[in-house]
């Protein structure tokens, strides 16, 4: 979608709108932006691409979209991370000035600040951090690009998409492999350095957005140790628009596998989460001789390649790992469990936390460990995980007993157990801290145990559900309501005994 040279440079600001940040009616702002997004999605769905382009132009110049973009950038996790200019927006005045500065005319992004984060394999992943203004411009254009991306997306793509999650992808894997007549062979695909190697030429030719703006982002370069380096390929990890651009680059992969006949005899299913995907097939030969070459042909013009190390063909009876879960058939029955790597990663994190807090008070250690354990358990509670949760509890108990013994090397096991691991009604035995919260009033704080959480099956999102389609508005509202209900009265019932008052 190219820019319209005759269009006036205007922000479409409501003259009666708020001039103070704290007075902004955010619900109204979101409604106005959502209304335009739904119109963009409808035009795309009907094949009216010129109309979708015109509506996208209006949205990216909308005062309300700019307000929403500034709000996103100043409230997300990176709100205190500055780019190369060292500027962050904290005050209401700064935020309102930022809204006024978001004009296309004369816009030129600054280079990215290069930062590295460690990966599990010991390597480092490069991040490109834009300045606040560039992040906000990306957020504005992403608001217009997302309705198009969602409408054109592969049905079984689940990463970096609104209202979809890892659990939806895992449930789709179950649907594809659980039956007795399901495919027996799986292609585990991993795209090598996906974000860093996407072809700029392909993006500029195929992404339906303002080409001038897109090109300035892609060619901004990055600063590392005071030196400016050009960017000749890739879309930077750290940019707000990057996940949407990467998803749109990989959309169409499913059709490549299916070929002209989706319901073919090879039992093909493709499930993708960001740049990781699995594809099923009836025979190993089909995946080796047809599916794998077709994938490489699809990726080549996009500047992408499969990772030779991580791309494997596996039999379902041997099992494979995907998104932190292990999927395998045992005597013909498909079971999905937390992967050994995921369990090991959790226990290592807990071990390092306990080791770093040898001298900490029990209540401080509990406050540090509870979010770690609860977050991991909530992620894995939708699969066959009860035995795994009990194993995790046993391992953590052993670590904590060692921690308590180091604090009191001369005390007996019974003394340590009575002081730190008493049995409490409804809870059982766990690490407990007794803290005085008032004169003569004490409260017990208990460590969360993984086995307290009951298994809860996840209901997969409908394959064709689009959050920018008014037809699915009630559907997503009901899913959100059910999700909140499950969180408040669901598997963590025993946490009602998490804090037990004691006189």
pLDDT over 70 percentage in the chain? 90
Q: What is the predicted pLDDT for the residue at 427?
A: 74
Write out pLDDT tens, residues 470-484: 999 999 999 988 876
Q: What is the predicted pLDDT for the residue at 484?
A: 65
Write out pLDDT tens, residues 217-268: 999 999 998 899 999 998 888 789 999 999 999 999 998 887 655 555 668 8
Token pair 């936390």 is at which residue?
353
Q: Long-range contacts for 90-98 (Cβ within 8 Å, ≥24 apart)?
A: 92/20, 92/21, 92/22, 93/21, 95/21, 95/70, 95/71, 96/19, 96/20, 96/21, 98/70, 98/132, 98/133, 98/136
Give the lowest-confidence range in 15-24, 311-320, 391-400, 415-424: 15-24
User: Model pTM?
Assistant: 0.89
Q: What is the predicted pLDDT for the residue at 20?
A: 84
Report how far residue 453's alpha carbon sits from residue 491's, in angstroms, rounded to the nearest whole number. 5
Q: What is the predicted pLDDT for the residue at 442?
A: 75
Q: What is the mean pLDDT of the chain?
A: 88
**pLDDT at 19 exceeding the cut of 80:** no
* 438 vs 312, more confident: 312
**pLDDT at 2 exceeding the cut of 80:** no
**pLDDT at 34 exceeding the cut of 70:** yes
Tokens of 195: 């974000």
Tokens of 139: 């957020």
47: exposed, middle or buried (Cβ count in 10 Å: 0-12, 13-18, 19+): exposed
Q: What is the predicted pLDDT for the residue at 18?
A: 54
Helices and strands, number each (H, E), in the chain: 18, 16
Report how far residue 455's alpha carbon sits from residue 91's, in angstroms, rounded to the nearest whole number. 44
């Amino acid at each position: 979608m190219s820019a319209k040279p005759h269009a006036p440079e205007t922000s479409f600001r409501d003259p009666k709108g708020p001039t103070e940040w704290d007075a902004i009616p955010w619900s109204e702002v979101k409604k106005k932006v959502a209304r335009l997004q739904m119109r963009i999605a409808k035009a795309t769905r009907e094949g009216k691409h010129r109309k979708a382009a015109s509506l996208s132009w209006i949205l990216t110049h909308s005062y309300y979209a700019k307000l929403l973009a500034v709000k996103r950038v100043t409230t997300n996790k990176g709100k205190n991370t500055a780019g190369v200019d060292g500027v962050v927006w904290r005050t209401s005045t700064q935020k309102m000035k930022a809204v006024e500065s978001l004009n296309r005319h004369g816009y030129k992004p600054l280079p990215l600040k290069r930062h590295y984060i460690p990966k599990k394999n010991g390597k480092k992943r490069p991040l490109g951090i834009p300045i606040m203004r560039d992040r906000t411009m990306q957020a504005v254009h992403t608001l217009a690009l997302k309705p198009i991306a969602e409408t054109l997306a592969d049905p079984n793509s689940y990463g970096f998409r609104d209202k979809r999650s890892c659990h939806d992808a895992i449930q789709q894997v179950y649907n594809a492999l659980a039956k007795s007549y399901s495919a027996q062979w799986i292609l585990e695909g991993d795209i090598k350095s996906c974000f860093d190697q996407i072809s700029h030429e392909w993006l500029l030719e195929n992404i339906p957005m303002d080409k001038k703006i897109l090109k300035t982002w892609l060619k901004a370069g990055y600063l590392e140790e005071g030196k400016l380096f050009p960017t000749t390929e890739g879309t930077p990890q750290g940019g707000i628009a990057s996940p949407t651009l990467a998803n749109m680059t990989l959309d169409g992969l499913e059709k490549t596998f299916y070929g002209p006949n989706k319901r073919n005899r090879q039992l093909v299913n493709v499930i993708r989460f960001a740049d990781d995907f699995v594809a099923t097939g009836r025979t190993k030969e089909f995946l080796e001789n047809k599916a794998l070459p077709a994938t490489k042909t699809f990726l080549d013009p996009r500047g992408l390649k499969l990772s030779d190390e991580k791309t494997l063909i596996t039999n379902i009876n041997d099992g494979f790992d995907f998104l932190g879960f292990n999927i395998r058939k045992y005597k013909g029955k498909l079971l999905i469990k937390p992967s050994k790597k995921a369990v090991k990663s959790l226990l290592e994190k807990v071990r390092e936390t306990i080791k770093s807090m040898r001298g900490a008070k029990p209540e401080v250690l509990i406050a540090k460990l509870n979010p770690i354990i609860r977050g991991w358990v909530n992620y894995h509670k939708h699969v066959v995980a009860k035995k795994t949760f009990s194993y995790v509890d046993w391992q953590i108990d052993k670590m904590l007993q060692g921690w308590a013994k180091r604090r009191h090397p001369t005390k007996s096991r019974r003394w340590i157990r009575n002081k730190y691991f008493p049995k409490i009604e409804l809870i059982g035995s766990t690490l407990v801290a007794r803290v005085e919260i008032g004169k003569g009033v004490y409260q017990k704080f208990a460590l969360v145990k993984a086995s307290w959480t009951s298994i809860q099956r996840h209901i997969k999102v409908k394959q064709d559900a689009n959050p920018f389609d008014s037809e699915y508005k009630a559907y997503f509202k009901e899913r959100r309501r059910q999700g909140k209900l499950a969180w408040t009265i669901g598997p963590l019932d025993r946490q009602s005994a998490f804090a037990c008052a004691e006189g």
